[in-house]
């Protein structure tokens, strides 16, 4: 069984790593602290078991480009390049490829190919799970579960609806990702739940920006990312790099406004980050998710 490893770090730790030149943002450790004290942030990554696959099927075959080349329509260069990226194991490319098979964009439409790649990408990397559930409506629950465990708030909402016996687990995960209606537990420093933290931060951002940033930061650290869009907004003028990282976290969790902020031209994005943000917007649009206000 494959496991998913969360990419989320406490923001100050990630920025410190970036300043030391560690591109992966998670392998740096301070070596000048002899005290042996625990770091102030939570553990950077946590293994989370993936749920059992609801349908047996192969992984993307490693020959996706050959299948696409045989069915390409018009200029095949772009769609074949996307298939080759999928063959190299880039899960975002696989989801985009499945969407192309579904819509017939650049390739002769094939619902079977789209379904196969959506579900394999969901199981393998937690990508495309909303799509996998959409095209397998009678088996949607386990796909939503996988998407929720991979850090997508909308998948948690839908998992709770599809599998009421697992709703409590879905709501606990969803709260951290920005499903505020699911939050019930008080959080230290918030004066209530995580939702209350974000509500207070929003109310104070003009009159008391420092306090607003403090409150928003509580909802944007470790595996809690639902407040990252607001935190990024509050950081954007003074620290563009920190704002970009926070927007990336929010986008990964399925906040459409965060994804669109990343893509508005204000930030310099590398190709993988841009591709992930663009695909997240497309996925959420296909799923009928409205942008957060």
Indicate if the pLDDT at residue 57 is higher than 90.
no
Residue 8: the pLDDT is: 42
| H or E stretch covering 113 | helix 111-125
pLDDT score of 291? 52
The mean pLDDT value for 184-199 works out to 94
Question: Nearest to residue 122, comparing CAs of 134, 111, 104?
Answer: 134
Instruction: Work out the average pLDDT over 273-293.
Output: 84
Q: In the prediction, which pLDDT does 78 show? A: 86
pLDDT score of 169: 97
State the greatest distance between any 2 C-alpha atoms of the chain, in Å, as a whole number.
Answer: 64
pLDDT given at position 14? 47
* Per-residue pLDDT band at 61 (split at 50, 70, 90): low
Q: Whose CA is closest to 123, among 206, 220, 53, 210? A: 53
Q: Across residues 50-78, what is the average pLDDT? A: 66
Residues 213-230 have pLDDT tens digits of 999 999 999 889 999 999
The domains of the chain are located at 64-181, 184-286
Q: Which tops the pLDDT comparison, 260 or 36?
A: 260
Tens digits of per-residue pLDDT, 100-127? 999 999 999 999 999 999 999 999 999 9
**Does residue 16 register a pLDDT over 80?**
no
**Residue percentage of the chain with pLDDT more than 90:** 67
Strand partners, 187: 192
CA distance 145 to 163: 9
143-173: burial string, b at 16+ Cβ within 10 Å, e else = bbbbbbbbbbbbbbbbbbebbeebbebbbbb
Q: State the Cα–Cα distance between residues 75 and 266, nearest whole angstrom.
A: 32
Outline where DSSP puts E strands in the chain. 3-5, 47-49
pLDDT for res 28: 38
Q: What are 229-279's pLDDT values in tens digits?
A: 999 999 999 999 999 999 999 999 999 999 999 999 999 999 999 999 999
Predicted pLDDT of residue 23: 41
From CA 282, how far away is CA 293, in angstroms rounded? 18
Under the banding of pLDDT at 50, 70 and 90, the label for residue 62 is low
**Domain 64-181 in CATH 1.25.40.10:** yes
Q: How far apart are CA 99 and CA 128, in angstroms?
A: 9
pLDDT digits (tens, 9 = 90+) for 257-266: 999 999 999 9
Q: How far apart are CA 125 and CA 109, in angstroms?
A: 24
- Tell me the pTM: 0.76
């Amino acid at each position: 069984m494959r496991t998913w490893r969360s990419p989320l770090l406490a923001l100050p730790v990630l920025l410190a790593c970036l300043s030391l030149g560690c591109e992966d943002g998670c392998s740096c450790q301070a070596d000048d602290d002899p005290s042996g004290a625990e770091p102030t942030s939570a553990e950077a990554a946590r293994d989370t078991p993936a749920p059992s696959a609801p349908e047996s099927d192969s992984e993307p075959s490693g020959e996706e480009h050959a299948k696409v080349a045989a069915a390409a329509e018009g200029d095949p260069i772009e769609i074949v390049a996307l298939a080759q990226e999928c063959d190299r194991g880039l899960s975002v490319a696989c989801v985009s490829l499945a969407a192309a098979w579904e819509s017939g964009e650049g390739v002769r439409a094939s619902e079977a190919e789209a379904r196969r790649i959506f579900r394999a990408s969901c199981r393998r990397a937690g990508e495309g799970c909303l799509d996998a559930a959409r095209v397998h409506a009678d088996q949607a629950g386990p796909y939503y579960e996988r998407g929720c465990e991979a850090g997508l708030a909308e998948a948690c909402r839908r998992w709770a609806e599809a599998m009421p016996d697992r709703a409590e687990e879905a709501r606990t995960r969803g709260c951290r990702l920005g499903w505020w209606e699911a939050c019930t537990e008080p959080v230290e420093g918030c004066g209530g739940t995580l939702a209350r933290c974000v509500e207070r931060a929003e109310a104070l951002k003009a009159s008391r920006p420092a306090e607003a940033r403090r409150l928003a930061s509580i909802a944007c650290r470790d595996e809690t990312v639902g407040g990252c869009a607001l935190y990024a907004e509050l950081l954007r003028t003074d620290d563009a790099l920190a704002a970009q990282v926070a927007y990336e976290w929010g986008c990964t969790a399925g906040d459409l406004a965060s994804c669109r902020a990343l893509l508005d031209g204000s930030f310099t994005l590398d190709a993988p980050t841009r591709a992930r943000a663009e695909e997240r917007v497309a996925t959420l649009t296909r799923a009928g998710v409205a942008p957060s206000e």
